[in-house]
Amino acid sequence: MKAAVIVFPGSNCDRDVQVALAQATARHASGGAPIMVWHKDADFEKVELIVLPGGFSYGDYLRCGAMAAQSPVMKEVVRRANRGVPVMGICNGFQILTEAGLLPGALIRNANLKFICRDVNLRVETSQSLFTGRYEEGQTIRVPVAHHDGNYIAGDEEMERMEDRGQIAFRYCAPDGTLTSDANPNGSARNIAGIFNETKTVLGLMPHPERLADPALGGSDGRPLFDGLVEALS
């Protein structure tokens, strides 16, 4: 399995996600470490997975992800995503995916106006996807968030359509899995932390699974996401 990590000026989680994917690939498949693709590259080699990492692409100018969504590499990412190549956007990557129109809705300023950097609990809403196959539906996992603009919003009709199609991937929850407003760090509608596109080939999520994907980092609840992806795509 070969993956590409897209690097924008201001990306800062690109190496972490490269390591998490390289380790998962070494455990389950061949293919080696993901290639790193610079934002100015309008074309890159054929890959089975594209990752948009976290960070502050283009300094969050105009809106988070707005400038990155217009970069040369994103035209190619959108073209490949529309042909079915799986794409995952983490944090700033999620913001870029909504700005590029690959995922519905938008991410606005956290309800409490603060940059939030801490571990949160997530409820896995489905195991029926490339990304979540190694989790159980309803399982609670602990993953860190680190963002200022992670407050997910979409129109009511859009939201209903997403619920009906099972496009919600993760929700913020209490340690026992219940969805409470206390467990919602940023004010996201319906405690949403991550969503799929209609075909479930594109995932965007605010939390950082790559930051807890190795016991040496203090936890490994993020690891099954990378293991599952590598297995599914190999």
Partner 1 sequence: MKARVHVTLKPGVLDPQGKAIHKALSGLGFETVERVRQGKVIELELSESDPERARESLRDMCEKLLANTVIENYAIELDA
Q: Can you give the binding site for partner 1, defined by CB under 8 A? A: 62-63, 66, 70, 98-99, 104-106, 108-113, 151, 153-155, 187
For the CB of residue 191, give the shortest distance to partner 1 in the complex, in Å: 15
Q: Which is nearer to partner 1, 63 or 80 (CB)?
A: 63
Half-sphere exposure of 125 (CA within 13 A, CB side): 23
Q: Which residues are CB-neighbours of 97 under 8 A, at least 6 positions away?
A: 52, 65, 87, 89, 103, 202, 204
Alpha-carbon dihedral sign for residues 218, 178, 160, 156: negative
CB-CB contact of 162 with 138 (8 Å)? no
For the CB of residue 106, give the shortest distance to partner 1 in the complex, in Å: 4
Q: Which is nearer to partner 1, 22 or 153 (CB)?
A: 153
Q: Which is nearer to partner 1, 69 or 229 (CB)?
A: 69
For β-strands 116-124 and 168-173, DSSP reports them as: antiparallel
Residue type (1 letter), 205: L
Q: Which is nearer to partner 1, 69 or 143 (CB)?
A: 69
CB-CB contact of 10 with 56 (8 Å)? yes
Nearest one of 215, 232, 194 to 97, comparing CA atoms: 194
Catalytic hit among 76, 99, 125, 210: 210
- 231: annotated active-site residue: no
- 157: annotated active-site residue: no
- 173: annotated active-site residue: no
Catalytic hit among 28, 91, 125, 147: 91
For the CB of residue 184, give the shortest distance to partner 1 in the complex, in Å: 13
For the CB of residue 109, give the shortest distance to partner 1 in the complex, in Å: 5
DSSP 8-state secondary structure symbol assigned to residue 219: B
Q: Which is nearer to partner 1, 4 or 202 (CB)?
A: 202
Which parts of the chain are beta strand (E)?
Answer: 3-7, 35-38, 49-52, 87-90, 106-108, 116-124, 140-147, 151-153, 168-173, 192-196, 202-205
For the CB of residue 25, give the shortest distance to partner 1 in the complex, in Å: 35
* Residues that are catalytic: 91, 208, 210
